[in-house]
């Protein structure tokens, strides 16, 4: 059992699982803050009930997200000791700021918001939820500052086999941060919006008693979904152009571009021979990749074979080609899901503006299932980001096989891998149960801090719940 491979599997499984919860936390916190702001201004009680209803689902997601996130930092020391030694001086500052400032801000004011209903002034209570949203997105920013060093190392010097920070400002100003963080922010907004759209559509289909609440939820979510989807695509375009300049091998793998081209064609569908690094069958758009990379129908995009030869000259003998199959298909899953989200968001907003949310239609039937789309896009996007960088864990400085803990055996990693997988399986069951329970609950009950209970009867109707005071 190769401990490096097992350690990579463990990190991949726990990280992808953790990131299921992160975008919803980032986006739904902002949407809940917007709801409460509208209630504060208008004093419309519907918006207060909306705030409490969606806020309850946000709390469930936040709690499990925190529990799963703790494991990530532990893994640096458990399975990746050499990596921790190499980047410890770099990672220490942003991760400390994330924990002591951003996460502290988020969690402290979340408690104030949760327990402060009717107990603290309304302005202070409103400020609390906005500080939760700001704290969550600041937390993401500092983590991405650390991650961006792995993608594009800046502000350091190599000394005694370690990367030592020389310029903290360069770390913050890293160009990779400022194409990555907006992408994460707007993907979170889209995730929260589609989550609301799916649940609101389901509730409206079943002639919910609180139709006004879900009409307004649908309208707000449709607007946010369209904004989020458009911005994700625009920022993603900038991110792809940045990738061409800084990690050309990742883009070449994502497009199965074996040899450099000018103008470079874009692959619509390719069956490749990865062993011999050539196309078996391909449908390509002439000059498409040059347009994507440079906003013009000309410009060289380097291919896998050319970059392999170039990296061998720079870094020495070795295989510098990532898993092309994974990079190619995750890129298409991410982009495909993103454009489908854009189409659905535009359709949903059209339906909302025409006040047709109560009609049974293909859109309304499909939106509950569309909740999965942003999760697919987020997960495949991060798989491409991390696996497309291989064999580097810190690009150009440290390979993944050099970063693992030397004293941790394959058996030890396998044991913890099985343990984490089982624990996370239990957590996902608990999360789905609680989300389903509260998503189907009577909104008046939630507004009054009641606890819904699922009956053994028909769980598809909101009336299939027995309500009791907490």
Residues near 414 by Cβ (< 8 Å), separated by ≥ 6? Answer: 1, 6
Q: Is the pLDDT of residue 426 over 60?
A: yes
User: Hey, is 268 helix, strand or coil?
Assistant: strand
Average pLDDT score over the chain: 88
Stated as kind and residue range, the H or E segment containing 324 is helix 324-353
Q: Which of 89, 28, 30 is nearest to 58 (CA)?
A: 28
Banded pLDDT at 192 (limits 50, 70, 90):
very high
In the chain, the percentage of residues whose pLDDT exceeds 90 is 54
Q: Is the pLDDT of residue 169 over 60?
A: yes
**Residue 426, number of CB atoms within 10 A of its CB:** 9
pLDDT recorded at residue 450: 62
Cα separation, 191 vs 335, whole angstroms: 15
pLDDT recorded at residue 421: 87
Q: pLDDT of 335-357, one tens digit each?
A: 999 999 999 999 999 999 888 77
Q: Is the pLDDT of residue 167 over 80?
A: yes
Banded pLDDT at 453 (limits 50, 70, 90):
low
User: Hey, is 283 helix, strand or coil?
Assistant: strand
pLDDT recorded at residue 207: 64
Cα separation, 306 vs 286, whole angstroms: 20
| Higher pLDDT, residue 457 or 103 | 103
Q: Crossing angle, helix 410-439 and helix 45-78, to 10 degrees?
A: 180
Banded pLDDT at 128 (limits 50, 70, 90):
very high
HSE-CB of 170 using CA atoms within 13 angstroms: 12
Cα separation, 393 vs 11, whole angstroms: 12
Per-residue pLDDT, averaged over 413-418, amounts to 88
Banded pLDDT at 20 (limits 50, 70, 90):
confident
Give this prediction's pTM.
0.89
pLDDT recorded at residue 185: 95
Degrees (nearest 5) of the Cα angle 434, 437, 440?
Answer: 140
Q: How far is CA 134 from CA 28, 30, 225, 256, in A?
A: 12, 8, 19, 39
pLDDT recorded at residue 73: 73
Residues near 191 by Cβ (< 8 Å), separated by ≥ 6? Answer: 23, 24, 26, 27, 28, 228, 374, 375, 378
Helices (H), 164-287: 168-172, 177-205, 211-246, 248-254
**Residue 45, number of CB atoms within 10 A of its CB:** 12
Q: Is the pLDDT of residue 470 over 50?
A: no
Q: Is the pLDDT of residue 468 over 90?
A: no
Q: Crossing angle, helix 45-78 and helix 104-115, to 10 degrees?
A: 150
Q: pLDDT of 36-61, one tens digit each?
A: 999 999 998 999 999 999 999 999 99
pLDDT recorded at residue 466: 30
Contact 286, 280 (CB under 8 A): no
Cα separation, 438 vs 195, whole angstroms: 13
Per-residue pLDDT, averaged over 446-468, amounts to 48
Contact 462, 440 (CB under 8 A): yes
| Residue 434: exposure state from Cβ atoms within 10 A (0-12, 13-18, ≥19) | middle
User: Hey, is 156 helix, strand or coil?
Assistant: strand
pLDDT recorded at residue 106: 86
pLDDT recorded at residue 461: 41
Q: Is the pLDDT of residue 279 over 90?
A: no
pLDDT recorded at residue 458: 40
Residue 259 phi, psi (nearest 5)? -125, 150
In the chain, the percentage of residues whose pLDDT exceeds 70 is 95
Domain extent listing, the chain: 3-246+326-468
Q: Which of 160, 412, 106, 374 is nearest to 114 (CA)?
A: 106
Cα separation, 36 vs 22, whole angstroms: 21
């Amino acid at each position: 059992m190769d401990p490096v491979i097992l350690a990579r599997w463990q990190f991949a499984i726990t990280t992808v699982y953790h990131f299921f919860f992160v975008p919803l936390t980032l986006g739904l916190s902002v949407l809940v803050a917007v709801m409460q702001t509208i209630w504060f201004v208008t004093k419309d009680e519907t918006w207060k009930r909306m705030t409490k209803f969606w806020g309850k689902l946000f709390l469930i997601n936040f709690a499990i997200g925190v529990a799963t996130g703790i494991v990530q930092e532990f893994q640096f020391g458990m399975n990746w000791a050499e990596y921790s030694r190499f980047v410890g001086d770099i990672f220490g500052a942003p991760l400390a700021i994330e924990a002591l400032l951003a996460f502290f801000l988020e969690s402290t004011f979340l408690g104030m918001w949760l327990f402060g209903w009717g107990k603290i002034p309304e302005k202070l209570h409103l400020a609390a939820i906005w500080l939760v949203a700001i704290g969550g997105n600041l937390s993401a920013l500092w983590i991405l500052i650390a991650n961006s060093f792995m993608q594009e190392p800046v502000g350091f010097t190599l000394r005694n086999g370690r990367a030592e920070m020389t310029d903290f400002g360069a770390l913050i100003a890293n160009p990779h941060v400022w194409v990555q963080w907006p992408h994460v922010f707007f993907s979170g907004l889209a995730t929260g919006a589609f989550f609301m759209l799916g649940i609101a559509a389901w509730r409206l289909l079943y002639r919910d008693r609180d139709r006004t609440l879900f009409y307004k939820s649908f309208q707000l979510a449709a607007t946010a979904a369209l904004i989020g989807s458009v911005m994700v695509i625009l920022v993603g375009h900038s991110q792809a152009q940045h990738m061409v300049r800084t990690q050309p091998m990742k883009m070449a793998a994502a497009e199965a571009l074996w040899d450099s081209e000018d103008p470079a064609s874009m692959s619509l569908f390719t069956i490749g021979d990865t062993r011999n690094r050539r196309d078996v069958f391909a449908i390509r758009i002439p000059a498409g990749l040059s347009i994507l990379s440079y906003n013009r129908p000309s410009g060289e995009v380097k291919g896998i074979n050319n970059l392999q030869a170039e990296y061998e000259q720079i870094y020495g003998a070795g295989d510098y080609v990532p898993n092309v199959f994974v990079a190619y298909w995750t890129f298409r899953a991410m982009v495909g899901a993103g454009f489908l989200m854009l189409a659905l968001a535009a359709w949903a907003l059209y339906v909302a503006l025409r006040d047709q949310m109560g009609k049974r239609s293909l859109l309304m039937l499909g939106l509950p299932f569309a909740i999965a789309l942003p999760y697919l896009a987020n997960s495949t996007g991060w798989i491409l980001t991390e696996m497309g960088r291989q064999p580097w864990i810190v690009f150009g400085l440290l390979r993944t096989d050099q970063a693992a803990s030397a004293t941790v055996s394959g058996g030890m990693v396998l044991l913890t891998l099985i343990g984490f997988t089982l624990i996370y399986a239990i957590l996902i069951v608990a999360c789905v149960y609680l989300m389903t329970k509260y998503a189907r609950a009577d909104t008046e009950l939630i507004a009054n801090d009641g606890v819904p209970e699922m009956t053994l009867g028909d769980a598809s109707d909101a009336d299939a719940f027995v309500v009791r005071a907490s």
